[in-house]
Amino acid sequence: MNELKNRGTEDIMLAVVDGLKGFPDAITAVFPEAVVQTCIVHLLRNSMDFVSWKDRKPLATALKAIYRAVDAKAAEDALIAFEASEWGLRYVAIAQSWRRAWNEVVPFFAFPEAVRKIIYTTNAIEALNSKLRRAIRARGHFPNDEAATKLLYLVLNRPEKEWKMPLREWTMAKAQFAVIFGERFIKAKTA
């Protein structure tokens, strides 16, 4: 995070992380105003690590009540209900893992539905990183840094063509970010 700041990153408004221990603290140490949100998809995948194959689908349905709650209070109530349910008693480690990550889950509920659809997962970023790694691996070596930069530019040129999510969702999310983050968002947009 210090390296990002030294390279010129002035602010991080929202960071969606995938459960790497200590990463939320590292982000907020350098960017204290950053909202750190855990990847809900990673949290669900982690939950399924404790579950037998035949129980995965019904258990995933039971967990929806938590992450689809209207606000943080309703989500906490849903988590308490899950803990007391047959699933929660059978797979105690799941509720414990959600409790450990709860500080990074709660910010999710401050956002409206349009934004939640975008920030619930880090999969898009992971897919983009995978695409970059694949391109570099296929080429193998580069005569100079400029050649590597050009290849990465070509890979990144218009990646939205492959996006599954319509751009209008991002337009709605940007409008919500402008409201939520106010001047910070406006400053970042004009920089």
For the entire predicted model, the pTM comes to 0.75
Which stretches of the chain drop beneath a pLDDT of 50? none
Locate 174 and state its tokens.
């940007």
Residue tagged 């659809």 (tokens): 117
pLDDT in tens, 107-146: 889 888 878 888 887 777 777 778 888 888 888 788 888 8
CA distance 151 to 141: 11
User: What ranges in 19-71 are assigned the alpha helix state H?
Assistant: 23-30, 40-48, 56-67
How high is the pLDDT of residue 76?
A: 96
Q: Provide the 3-class DSSP secondary structure of residue 16.
A: strand
Give the pLDDT confidence score for residue 33 in this predicted structure: 93
The pLDDT of residue 182:
87
Q: What is the DSSP letter of 182?
A: T
* Buried residues in 162-174 as b, exposed as e (16+ CB within 10 A): eeeeeeeebebbe
- Specify whether the backbone of 19 is left (phi greater than 0), alpha (psi in -120 to 50) or beta: left
The residue extents of the domains of the chain are 2-119, 123-190
What count of Cα atoms within 13 Å lies in the side-chain half-sphere of residue 48?
14
3-state SS class at 14: strand
Q: What are phi and psi of 14, to 5 degrees?
A: -140, 130
Round to whole Å and give the CA distance between 82 and 80.
Answer: 5
Q: For the chain, where are the alpha helices, taking DSSP H only?
A: 2-6, 23-30, 40-48, 56-67, 72-84, 86-90, 92-100, 102-105, 113-119, 123-139, 145-156, 167-181, 183-190
pLDDT for residue 94: 95
- Structure tokens belonging to residue 4: 């990002």
- C-alpha 49/C-alpha 60 separation (Å) is 12
